[in-house]
C-alpha cells in the first residue's frame, strides 16, 4: 500500500530526475497516462491504508511508528549526523 504510493510518486518524478533512463526505455507511457497511472496508484494506496488503519488500529500505529523511525534515521543520515557512527 505504502509502496504503491511511493511508486506513484517516483513514476511522476522519473522523467525529470532521470531523463536519460526514461528516454532510453523500451516502453514509455505518455505524460497523460503516466499521470493517470500514478494518481490511480496513489489514490488506491491511500484508500487501502485508510481501510487497514480503520480496521486494525494497534498494528497500524506500530507500523507507522517504525516508518517514522526510519524517516528520522534517513534524515539524520542525510544531514550527516550519523555518517561517522556508521563507518
Per residue in 73-85, pLDDT tens?
Answer: 999 988 887 666 5
- Closest alpha carbon to 2 in 46, 51, 61: 46
Q: pLDDT digits over 28-73, tens only?
A: 888 899 999 999 999 999 998 888 888 888 888 888 899 899 999 9
Contact 1, 49 (CB under 8 A): yes
Give the phi and the psi of residue 29 in degrees, each rounded to 5.
Answer: -85, 150
The more confidently predicted of residues 55 and 16 is 16
**Model's pTM, two decimal places?**
0.64
Amino acid at each position: 500500500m505504502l509502496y504503491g504510493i511511493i511508486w506513484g510518486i517516483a513514476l511522476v518524478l522519473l522523467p525529470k530526475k532521470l531523463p536519460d533512463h526514461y528516454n532510453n526505455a523500451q516502453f514509455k507511457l505518455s505524460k497523460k497516462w503516466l499521470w493517470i497511472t500514478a494518481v490511480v496508484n496513489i489514490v488506491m494506496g491511500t484508500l487501502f491504508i485508510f481501510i487497514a488503519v480503520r480496521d486494525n488500529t494497534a498494528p497500524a500505529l506500530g507500523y507507522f511508528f517504525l516508518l517514522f523511525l526510519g524517516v528520522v534515521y534517513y534524515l539524520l543520515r542525510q544531514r550527516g549526523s550519523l555518517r561517522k557512527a556508521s563507518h
